[in-house]
Amino acid sequence: MAFLADSLARIKPSATIAVTNKARELKAAGRDVIGLGAGEPDFDTPENIKEAAIQAIREGKTKYTAVDGIPELKAAIAAKFKRENNLTYAPNQITVGTGGKQVLYNALMATLNPGDEVIIPAPYWVSYPEMVALGGGTPVEIVGPQSQGFKIGPEALEAAITPKTKWLLLNSPSNPSGAGYTRAELRALADVLLKHPHVWIMTDDMYEHLVFDDFEFATIAEVEPKLYDRTLTVNGVSKAYAMTGWRIGYAGGPVELIKAMGTIQSQSTSNPSSISQWAAVEALNGTQDYIPKNAEIFKKRRDLVVSMLNQAKGIVCPNPEGAFYVFPSCAGTLGKTTAGGKLLKTDEDFVTALLEEEGVAVVQGSAFGLAPYFRISYATSTEALEEACKRIQRFCGNLR
Ligand SMILES: Cc1ncc(COP(=O)(O)O)c(C=O)c1O
């Protein structure tokens, strides 16, 4: 449509939201569908956080606030960065947005000029390349192969850096692979980055608290303090505190960048919801007891899903370090025909047939920049996961 902006032609709508919608439609039409597409915890927001929000409403904390966050929330975020990441950020180095998504978006809008390159390790969160393109930049994808646990190494990073590189976008633990970079792996990437002072690092630590076994979360500005001055450390309350609908994300970084991000936000959405901000203060300052409990529940589900998927014919499912996703390969199913008569040529064929024939909604790996894989979000009940995995086993067992 000629009326629409040219920039729209550069981006595509979110594939994960598309799958969730398709599954919802099928359900509404009476089909028995198990949705494993959505990226949000199935837990309810903890009571203390809800209470803080209710109290904020009662106390009339319902007006506009400072654009990039109330002082109380900035203080809670500074304390969090100090406590959990050993990073010191002053209030003017902290910004709060409507979800981590807006914070990432603000940072890209505030920094990208046409032709600027942003290195994005694949598989990646669907929004990264689209946001970069929307900002007029050029996404440069480099693959973290399955053989390396879906992580990039220093050689691949070094090879991707050009004079036009503006950012490296790191996400650990990763959506969609669940891969987490160890301190040593971050160290190796940091050594490359130290040689290229024009490259900034945007690290998306949204899944920090969802790590399993003895994996220890680390973030790059902590691993290499010399990178602190050109790192934006992004985080949020959505995943750790089951607060996806409240829409609060935040970042710590250099003063000038933080200020520029606030300028973008001041002319678009202004402050995030005042009530959500007060809820986030309680999330960060209140009890953290449920975080390890939730991680333990997710770990049990991960173990279940990995084990059951590896028993499905043609599927290979690596064991990820964190988040609530697995990213199995469906290479062994391609070239085969389903019970319903569909020839599987791509991972998209695989997920489409799986939804149509067995009512299990997952997302194709190609949407995350790596095929042939698919992503399962296991942030759903154990019963639903068991049933879904049984259906996947049956679907794969019936391939000819
Ligand atoms: C890797 C990653 N980053 C950022 C976000 C954004 O989270 P929110 O905007 O809810 O804070 C998500 C949500 O799915 C994500 O998976």
pLDDT in tens, 175-195: 999 999 999 999 999 999 999
Q: Is the beta carbon of 171 within 6 A of some atom in ligand 1?
A: yes
* Ligand 1 atom at minimum distance from 171 CA: 1
280 and 294 housed in the same domain:
no
Domain count, the chain: 2
* Cβ neighbours around 14 below 10 Å, total: 16
85 and 230 housed in the same domain:
yes
State mean pLDDT over 80-105: 98
Nearest to 258 by CA among 120, 91, 114, 77: 91
Final residue of a structural domain among 238, 270, 285: 285
pLDDT (0 to 100) of residue 39: 85
pLDDT band at 14 (very low <50, low <70, confident <90, very high): confident
% of the chain surpassing 90 pLDDT: 92
328 and 207 housed in the same domain:
no
Decide: 325 and 369 in contact? Cβ < 8 Å: no
Is 16 part of a structural domain of the chain? yes
39 and 94 housed in the same domain:
no
pLDDT (0 to 100) of residue 148: 97
Is 55 part of a structural domain of the chain? no
Indicate the top mutation candidate among 238, 327, 363 to test ligand 1's pocket, ranked by most ligand atoms within 8 A of CB: 238
335 and 376 housed in the same domain:
yes
Q: Is the beta carbon of 173 within 6 A of some atom in ligand 1?
A: no
pLDDT in tens, 235-246: 999 999 999 999
Residue for token digits 């019963």? 383
State mean pLDDT over 258-265: 98
Q: In which domain, by residue range, is 346 found? A: 6-44+290-397
243 and 377 housed in the same domain:
no
310 and 339 housed in the same domain:
yes
- Average pLDDT, whole number, for the chain? 96
Q: Is the beta carbon of 175 within 6 A of some atom in ligand 1?
A: yes
334 and 258 housed in the same domain:
no
281 and 330 housed in the same domain:
no
Is 51 part of a structural domain of the chain? no
* Ligand 1 atom at minimum distance from 236 CA: 11
209 and 225 housed in the same domain:
yes
The CATH number assigned to the domain holding 260 equals 3.40.640.10
pLDDT in tens, 284-334: 999 999 999 999 999 999 999 999 999 999 999 999 999 999 999 999 999
Residue for token digits 């920094």? 111
Is 182 part of a structural domain of the chain? yes
Q: Is the beta carbon of 272 within 6 A of some atom in ligand 1?
A: no
The CATH number assigned to the domain holding 295 equals 3.90.1150.10
DSSP state string for 146-198: GGGTT---HHHHHHH--TTEEEEEEESS-TTT-----HHHHHHHHHHHHT-TT
